[in-house]
Homo-oligomer: A and B are copies of this chain.
Amino acid sequence: DTPFTLIAGPCQIQSLDHALETAERISGICEGLGLELIYKSSFDKANRSSIDTPRGVGMDEGLAILDEVRKRYNTPVLTDVHEAGQCAHVAEVCEVLQIPAFLSRQTDLLLAAAETGAAINVKKGQFMAPWDMKNVADKIASTGNERIMLCDRGTSFGYNTLVTDFRGLPIMGETGYPVIFDATHSVQQPGGNGTTSGGQRQFVKTLASAATAIGVAGLFIETHEDPDTAPSDGPNMIPLDQLEALLEGLVAFDGLAKI
């Protein structure tokens, strides 16, 4: 068995320079640890808590930047899509299209993404049971595209709070598709700061360790050189200079989990 795949990058695409710098550092770390990297960053935050928070650089500029990242660092790139009409264009650049959790039951979006032939990473809706993801995977597979990853990013638990039910990882695994654990959004506190979401960065290691010991196919971890100034998901991203130490620990657990 190979080590877990790492899906990582800053939550938002901020600029070409910023993307290249983070890609260089993350790909260097992954190379050192023998991890396969998929670089992740978003061109549009389409469901911000409030109308007053920044949404991103937009699709055209975003894809141009991701294209540069993939060429320079020879790494597959992933970004999220929000409407069916975006999928074909995004798939020209991105090896992986990501379906956001809130949109995980939107049939047209799932089908349009699937029909590009790209790999699809679907986040489990916070309102869904892990066994309900089989129906989601079946929608994608109905197009003939079986390059599917199922990703857990937490489940609604009271108000403004998510909980990770780790039984969900093996349950989603029963579909036969690889299971990814999103350690960044699982510690999000949706709407928890009034007009933005809060987060609990201090539990990323806790939950990522748990997921790795259970034996996931991949981890999703957003990171930023200075999360507290990041335009989104700052409270739950980990500082880039802590990524290597975190991953070293996780690789060790992964080795044991996959014996």
Contact flags (1/0) for A241-259 with B, using CB distance below 8 Å?
0000000010011001100
Decide if A214 is an interface residue (CB 8 Å cutoff): yes
A51 contact from B139, B156, B160, Cβ within 8 A? B139
A49 contact from B55, B82, B135, B157, Cβ within 8 A? B135
A137–B166 CA distance with the chains assembled, in angstroms: 27
Q: Can you show 27 pairs from A to B with CB atoms below 8 A apart?
A: A46-B107, A47-B107, A48-B105, A49-B105, A50-B135, A51-B107, A51-B135, A82-B106, A85-B85, A103-B103, A103-B106, A127-B127, A127-B156, A127-B190, A129-B160, A129-B191, A131-B191, A155-B159, A158-B158, A159-B161, A164-B166, A166-B206, A167-B200, A210-B210, A210-B211, A210-B213, A253-B253
Contact flags (1/0) for A144-172 with B, using CB distance below 8 Å?
00000000000111111101111101100
Decide if A21 is an interface residue (CB 8 Å cutoff): no
A257 contact from B138, B142, B209, Cβ within 8 A? B209
A128-B191 in contact given A51-B135, A209-B257 (Cβ < 8 Å): yes
Contact B200 A210 (CB under 8 A): no
Interface residues of A (CB under 8 A from B): 46-51, 55, 82-85, 102-103, 105-108, 125-129, 131-132, 135, 138-139, 142, 155-161, 163-167, 169-170, 187, 190-191, 195, 200, 203, 206-207, 209-214, 249, 252-253, 256-257
Q: How many copies does the complex hold?
A: 4
Contact A195 B46 (CB under 8 A): no
A203 nearest CB neighbor, chain B only: B167
